Amino acid sequence: MVKENWLQAAQHDYDPRRIHEGYGVDAQTRFGPVMYYLENKGKEVLPPADKPNVLIIGPGGNSDVGYMPYELYELTGYLEHCGKDYNLDIIDINKEIIGEVLKRRSMGISLWNLMASRAADLFFEFSWETYCKYIGYSSKLRQNQEVFWAPIPKGLQIKLDNDEVGTTVSDIAQAALPVSKYDLIVCRNVLYQLDEVGFKLAYFQLAQSLKPGGKLWTNYGLIIHRSFVTSNVQEQLAQEEWFLDLALEKGPVLDDADGCPIEFMFIKKEV
């Protein structure tokens, strides 16, 4: 396989109107999983850099009070809890979502969402209380409301107030990302919304933007796209070669289902 061949073909064939098979972009995330993985495997997830450059793809939108995005705040809260400073960029396909993230200084979780997070496998003990521990805050239910509220992490607040968070409005399959900039890229619950062509382009963009030794945290994509899950030995070798073209090595598996990874890391090879 020659990278230029599939890359040029994918660039020619990609149609952004087919994102999520024509149903639009899903901008919601569930509370809890990111904290669970950080609490259990933080050393495997976080890069060793003293002040890592972090890119978060698809931070999500505030569709309803009490059901908003959480990954951005779980990750930055954990970094600050560990005493680790960071540089932060975010990318989303929707400019309204970017605007919502830039102006938000608190976030809430509904009782329903909180109970659903606790009921999910393994996530019950890493819930709202864990996030509040990260940011040093005591959260109480407001009178006559069914939503818990807490500030976003203090360090993130400062970065937002000082315009220190870089933002880009773009489809990740077409984004012009800086080369070899990031120590950690978080791209969860995003790639499944692309067709196979967009999926390949997105991985190319992400791989190019990682520093050697940088980490890409992702999930689901290799499961949703059947061409990347196969028992055929020749197809498995083709898949391995495709990732070698991108200089991506398999990293830690954070979670799996029946032996199939559902939450995992790639590491950019030293060239």
Q: Are strands 260-268 and 210-219 parallel, antiparallel or unpaired?
A: antiparallel
pLDDT tens profile 65-74: 545 678 899 9
pLDDT tens profile 228-246: 545 555 555 555 677 778 8
How many independent structural domains does the chain possess?
A: 1
Higher pLDDT, 27 or 72: 72
Q: The tokens of 136 are what?
A: 């040093």
Q: Which residue's structure tokens are 């230029």?
A: 4
pLDDT tens profile 200-213: 888 999 999 999 99
pLDDT tens profile 142-195: 555 677 788 999 999 999 999 999 999 999 988 989 999 999 999 988 887 787
Q: Of 44-58, 117-131, 246-260, which gets the smallest average pLDDT?
A: 117-131
Domain span at residue 53 reads 3-268
Contact 78, 132 (CB under 8 A): no
pLDDT at 22 over 50: no
Task: Please tell me the predicted confidence (pLDDT) of residue 223.
Answer: 46
Which CATH number does the domain housing residue 124 bear? Answer: 3.40.50.150
Contacts of 157 (CB under 8 A, 6+ apart): 105, 151
Predicted model pTM: 0.86
Q: What is the mean pLDDT of the chain?
A: 80
The single-letter DSSP state of residue 12 is H
Contact 93, 17 (CB under 8 A): no
Confidence of residue 226 (pLDDT cuts 50, 70, 90): very low
Most confident of 19-33, 55-69, 76-90: 76-90
